[in-house]
Amino acid sequence: MSTSDYVVLTEGLQKRYRETQALDGLDLAVPRGLVFGLLGPNGAGKTTAVRILSTLVRPDGGRAEVAGHDVRTQPRLVRRRIGLTGQNTAVDDNISARQNLVMFGRLFHIGKAAARQRADELLAQFGLADAAEKTPKKFSGGMRRRLDLASSMILAPEVLFLDEPTTGLDPAGRREVWQAVGELAAHGTTVVLTTHYLDEADKLCDRIGVIDRGRNVVEDTPSGLKRRIGNERLEIVAADPGDLPAIEMLLGKVAADGRTPTLDETTLAASVAVSNGVTALTEVAAELRHRDLTVADLGLRRPTLDEAFLHLTGERPTDDLEVSK
C-alpha cells in the first residue's frame, strides 16, 4: 500500500505526562474503510493516542497524519475530517433527540435548514426516527450512545474515533452500538476505537493494534492474533476420575508435535493442542466408544482473543480508566 491508502499514520509518536511516558515511539498505519481497534492493558496509552489523533493533545515527538493532514501543523483541517465520541455522552438530556442533532449541526456552522435535514438523515440511519421528539433522559443506554454517535457524524467524517464506546452499557445496549458501528464502516467511514472488551474487538474490528507501555506490540487481524498462541485444543472432561489416565493416553496419540496433555484433577478435564482438530476429535470420539468410556464433555476449544491478549502483554484488560491519559 502507498501512504495515500492509509487514513491514519503515526511515526515514533511520543507523549509524556510528568514522570509517565504515555507514548514511547508509537507507529500506526490504519487503512481506509476499516474498523481498527487499539487494545492494551490499563495505562498502555490508548486514550492518549486518540487524543493526539483528534487534535485534543499535542504530541511531544514524532509525527501523525489523519486524512492526509498533520495533526500538529494542520489541526483545523484534521478536525473537519474527523468525528470523536469519548467515554461520556455529550448529548443534552433536556432537549429532544432531533434538537440535539440540529444544535450540533449549527455549532458546525451548518445552515438551519441543512442542519434539520442532516438531523433527520442521522435519526433514520441510527434507528432513532421514532424517538426523534423524545429527550435522551428517557432513552436506554444503547439509544443514548447511538444518539451520541449520530452527533459525531454530523459532518460525515472520513474518520470516527471512538474511545471506549460501550463502557457501562448492558449487553443489549452494546449490541445496539455494535450494529451502528458496523453500519458506519459499511458506508465507508474509517473507525478507530479503543476498548477493553475483547469480545467487542473480536466482533467489530478488521484489524487490531496491541500496544503496551506506549509502544507497538503487534498488529494483525483478530484471527491472526489468536493463531499466534498456537493450535486449537481438544478437551475432554471425564465422568469418572478413574478414567483420566486412559483419556490422557488417548489425547497423547493425537497431540500436535508430540505435546503432553494437560490434566486438571479438580475439574477432571484433560486437553492437548492438536494440528487437525476435526480429525483428532473424530478419532478420539471413536476410541472412547470402542473402550466404552463415558465422558462429561468432549470438544474443540479454539484460542480466544482474551488468551492472545494475555499471551502478548502478560496482562488482562481491565475496566479501569487509564492512569496515563
User: What pLDDT does 315 receive?
Assistant: 63
Percent of the chain surpassing pLDDT 70:
95
Where do the DSSP E strands lie in 40-154?
61-66, 69-70, 82-85
| Three-point CA angle 202, 33, 59, nearest 5° | 85
pLDDT band at 316 (very low <50, low <70, confident <90, very high): low
For residue 154, what is the DSSP state? T
If you average pLDDT over residues 96-119, what whole number do you get?
94
- Which helix H or strand E contains 173, and what residues bound it? helix 171-186
CA of 123: how far to CAs of 101, 179, 244, 267, in Å?
9, 14, 59, 51
If you average pLDDT over residues 40-57, what whole number do you get?
92
User: What pLDDT does 86 receive?
Assistant: 81
Record the pTM: 0.78
Where do the domains of the chain lie, and which CATH numbers do they carry? Answer: 3-227 (3.40.50.300), 233-302 (3.30.70)
Q: In whole angstroms, what separates CA 296 from the centre of its chain?
A: 34
Q: Which of 221, 209, 190 is nearest to 13 (CA)?
A: 209
Q: What are the pLDDT digits (tens) for 264-279?
A: 999 999 998 888 889 9
Separation CA 240–CA 218 (nearest Å):
43
Please report the DSSP string for 92-120 in residue order: -TTS-HHHHHHHHHHHTT--HHHHHHHHH
First to last CA, the chain: 31
Phi/psi at 118 (5° precision): -65, -40
At 58, is the secondary structure helix, strand, or coil?
A: coil
Q: In whole angstroms, what separates CA 271 from the centre of its chain?
A: 29
* CB of 311 closer than 8 Å to CB of 41: no
Separation CA 259–CA 261 (nearest Å):
7
Separation CA 107–CA 92 (nearest Å):
14
Bigger pLDDT: 80 vs 88: 80
Whether the pLDDT of residue 8 is over 60: the answer is yes
Q: What are the pLDDT digits (tens) for 151-210?
A: 999 988 999 999 988 888 888 888 888 988 988 898 889 999 998 888 899 999 999 999
Strand order through the sheet with 207-212 = 82-85, 159-163, 190-194, 35-39, 207-212, 215-220
User: What pLDDT does 318 receive?
Assistant: 52
* CB of 38 closer than 8 Å to CB of 193: yes
At 75, is the secondary structure helix, strand, or coil?
A: helix
